[in-house]
Structure 1
Amino acid sequence: MTGPDVRLAAAVRVGDAGEVRALIEAGADPDAAGADGLPVLCSAVEAFAHEVAEALVEGGADPDRQLPDGTTPLLRAVEGGSPATVSAVNAGALRLPREQRERLLAAARHWYETGAEAELRRRTGARGPARTARVQDGEFLHVEAVTLGGRTVRAGHGAVLTELEQALRILTPVEELVARAVRHADDHVDWSASSWALACRRSAGTWSQVVAFHRHPSPVHRAFVADFLRSGAMQASMTMHERWYERERGRLLVSWAETETDGGVLAEVLAVMRLEEHPGAPAVGLRHAGHPDPRVRGEVPFLFDPPRTGEVAAALRVLARDAEPEVRVAAAESLAWPEVWSGEDRELLVSLFRDPDPQVRSRASYAVASGRDRSPAVTEALFGLLDAQEQVLRLNGAFGLAVRDDPRTREAYGRVGPRDGEHECEHEHRWDGLWRWSMRNEPDAP
């Protein structure tokens, strides 16, 4: 191999996608062989390094190249069970000859129906226990990694099969896609793939078949319907039938909220209703403000958009004193939204700066700092946060002063202190508050 190819193999080995792209641009062969004699794309596939695999394929690596054992990098990715890796390697399965498409589908279905551990045991002959760990696949989702006999696969073959079918324009029955999803939690790759595939169909028939599961005796099936409605809301906005979907979703959500018995599912239903900005949401929220499940109570405040009735304001004040921190936070964020606060709401919000729970203190003070109330009482309460032991509270106080163009802003940021690493985003907007304040108030300053 040439020098660039050697460096490319090394970059693939350590998972450096940026270096892989740079080396290919500099002339490295994307189909260069690694130490095992196979294309480096196979190494990326085996390591589930989907970003590296994507860089190689985009740079010209051939995912359909036949290997000495008769497989291809794409087939190896399918058998590996990582949908993120398959998506990165799949350069367009629809263009493949029919025999190759059928082989990919058969492999995905076989691994899915047999089970990752059972198929690994069959292939390796290993008799000991398998090691299973939950790992991230892609940016947001998770899957089980199964290791046995010195080989590791990911048990996302249901998602791989679903995505292959979608890519090959195969209309999988609704019942089968739902069955693939409900074996797992909602952040599992199989669940997500089914939900998205069904949402993408954009047909009244599919919609009706899926939502019929909201009467299913299993809460997991009903939770899947709620997730489908959330995904479908995004998809429907891109179709000419948006109003029809909006009307039908609204009707379903209001009636479903009155009959749902599982607290977790009901919370999901209310969350979708919040996204819909349904006109009946406040009435539904009032009926569930005293629900015994804190997950439900935590969704209720977000159903109350201004302007608010006295009954809604009273419910929010009760929720702001709830026993559960997440409910108090939700109520505080909702109370802080209107432009004008009542004296009672102002006093209640400021009192949450001293809440026993650190998350309530942090998020309530941020909601107040970002809120539209410009009264002296709120401004002074924010200034008082500069004496807090927690840096996040001092930062919220300084940021609140900055957005109110308070002349003490520069002093306030000085008291926040150097960044302590707690705040994950280097350019997080609260830290930029001093710069924005100075641009508005000290434009001629050096």
Structure 2
Amino acid sequence: MISSEHPLLTAVRNGDTRAVAALLQEEYGTAHARGPHVAAALRLAAGALDHRVLDALLKLADLDALDLDGIDADGRTPLLRAVDRGAHDIATALHFAGADPRVTDREGRDALAMARHWHTTGTGAGVHRRTVRDGNGEICRELVIGGQTVRDGHTAILTHLESCCEIATPFAELLDRAMAEPEVGHPVWGAAVVAAAGRKGPALPPVWDAAAALRHHPDPLARYFGADVLRCINLYDESGEDEESPFDTPLVDLFLPWVEQEEDPRVMRPLAAGLADAMDPRAEKPLPALTRHPDAQVRSWAVGGLHRQVQQANTDALAAVLACTGDTDAQVREAACRALLRAQADDPAPCDALAACLSDSEEAVRVTAAMQLALRDDHRGDALLDALDGTVDRTSPYYWPLHDVWRHRQAR
């Protein structure tokens, strides 16, 4: 007699995140499902390198039931298998969820040792590396695993694990690891920047100095790394609200002249992000002009930094944000909608611009505009939000913003 597969496992095989979420929440009747098939579902999702389904399982299932450190037939945990295959997003998701990197395989290697091994010798078993050009024409390295293509993440995983284990990889080594991948969106860039910017105490000032020195480097990739490390050092600063950040003013001192002379659009992204996050009022000056920059990511960061100026009814800032609701890039339009939330209540232009975005071609822009209208007590987006009722679960990016809308409505 052939037994049918459990619906949860079928949903995972099909990559059906909505069905996975529904089964976890409805069939098991709890926000933290503990059913007997949950652990098998985790291994199936991790093995298929399906990050969306894995994320749903990690959010909605009971962590004990998932058995994150369970050993498979090959003697490996899901984390070790992800490290072996260079699947950075899967490995880090499992690690952040609580998977223990100290568990060893049959050869006695833990996650760090395995990552270091493949970083040194090449890719894992059954994995093939190839070099291609992305949609922007930039060279990037990929891994082909069982017919699936993923980014080569062995070095990124190693860098992440070293940082978590408080291994202080030298700044020059982190820079070399990042620059070995010419695509700045590769995971190793983020891992290397976080590792450098996350230093504590006396180890941090030398990192600041080394990153600042890169602003004059002839290679834009080095300048990008330096700018991103500097802005993350300031972003990660743990000074209290009543304390002045020791890095905020120095960052603005560096970034204001730098942004005027920088020509590479990639380097402009962390520069715009750093100015957008800075508390020094001087940082706000170039942001309206940067909303018209040719690079969409620069425009998005600049718009995101104009919230305070919009709230203060700064004419130039408001005009820039209103213009960005019609930007060619959806991410910029969405950022502009968010920036209009705190605009003056007696000015009809912000709500009219948000209402115009209700017919945007991108769902994320439409939903964001409707949520901002609701929070401004304008009912023109209510029908769109009401249509979402019952369709949004905790795996949706709309879940918590919509929760704020429902709470606002109840408070009226």
TM-score range, shorter chain: 0.5 to 0.7
Partner of 1:374: 346
Q: What does residue 71 of structure 2 align with?
A: 65
Code of the aligned partner of 1:174: F
Shift of 1:237: 2.6
Q: What is the match of residue 196 of structure 1?
A: 194
* 2:92 equivalent to 1:87: yes
Distance 1:239 1:332 in 2: 23
3-state secondary structure, aligned to 1:237: coil
Whether contact under 8 Å (1:147, 1:153) holds in the other structure is yes
Deviates more, 1:193-202 or 1:240-249: 240-249
The separation in 2 between residues aligned to 1:93 and 1:395, in whole angstroms, is 38
Q: Is the 8 A contact 2:198 2:233 kept in 1?
A: yes
> 2:81 — aligned with what?
76
Distance 1:198 1:92 in 2: 24
Give the corresponding residue for 1:230: 231
Structure 2: unaligned runs, 5 residues or longer: 389-396
Cα 1:401/1:276, change in 2 over 3 Å: closer
Q: Secondary structure at the match of 2:67?
A: coil
Q: Distance in 1 between matches of 2:75 and 2:219?
A: 44
Structure 1 residue 160 corresponds to structure 2 residue 157: yes
- CA gap of 1:96–1:236, structure 2 versus 1, over 3 A, is same
| Matched-pair contact (CA < 8 Å) for 1:199–1:232 | yes
Does the CA-based 8 Å contact 1:115-1:155 persist in structure 2? no
Counterpart code for 2:165: L
- How far apart are residue 88 of structure 1 and its match? 3.9
TM-superposed deviation, 1:279: 3.8
Give the drift of 1:178: 2.0
Question: CA offset at residue 428 of structure 1?
Answer: 7.3
- Normalization by structure 1: what TM-score? 0.58
Equivalent residues of 2:338, 2:368 under 8 A apart: yes
Paired amino acid for 1:175: A
Distance 1:114 1:261, change over 3 A: same
CA distance in 1 between counterparts of 2:72 and 2:112 reads: 17
Structure possessing the higher relative contact order (Cα contacts under 8 Å, 6 or more residues apart): 2
Seen in structure 2, the aligned counterparts of structure 1 residues 114 and 280 have a Cα distance that, compared at 3 Å, is same
Q: Deviations over 1:10-50 (max 9, x none)?
A: 46544536646876955527666xxxxxxx65433211243
Change (3 A) 1:250 1:93: same
Give the alignment's TM-score, normalised by structure 2: 0.62
Matches within 5 A, 1:4-153: 9-10=9-10, 12-14=12-14, 16=20, 19=23, 25=33, 28=36, 41-49=42-50, 50-51=54-55, 54=58, 55=61, 58-59=64-65, 61=67, 63=69, 65=71, 67=73, 69-90=74-95, 91=98, 93=100, 95-96=102-103, 102-116=109-123, 123=126, 146-147=143-144, 150=147
Map residues 321-400 of structure 1 onto 2, 5 A cutoff: 337-339=311-313, 371-372=343-344, 374=346, 378=348, 391=359
Residues 176-196 of structure 1: per-residue CA shift (max 9 Å, x gap): 222222314343221111112
How far residue 133 of structure 1 moved from its aligned partner, in angstroms, is 10
> Is 2:186 the partner of 1:214?
no
- Give % identity: 26
CA RMSD of aligned residues (A): 5.9
**Any idea what SS the aligned residue of 1:244 has?**
coil
Distance across 1 between alignment mates of 2:354 and 2:21: 43
* Distance change in 2, residues 1:58/1:221 (3 Å): farther
- Give the SS at the match of 1:146: strand
Structure number with larger C-alpha Rg: 1
> How has the CA–CA distance of structure 1 residues 367 and 425 changed in structure 2, closer, same or farther, with 3 Å as cutoff?
same
Give the letter aligned to residue 63 of structure 1: D
SS at match of 2:246: helix
Partner of 1:271: 273
Structure 1 counterpart of 2:344, which letter?
Answer: R
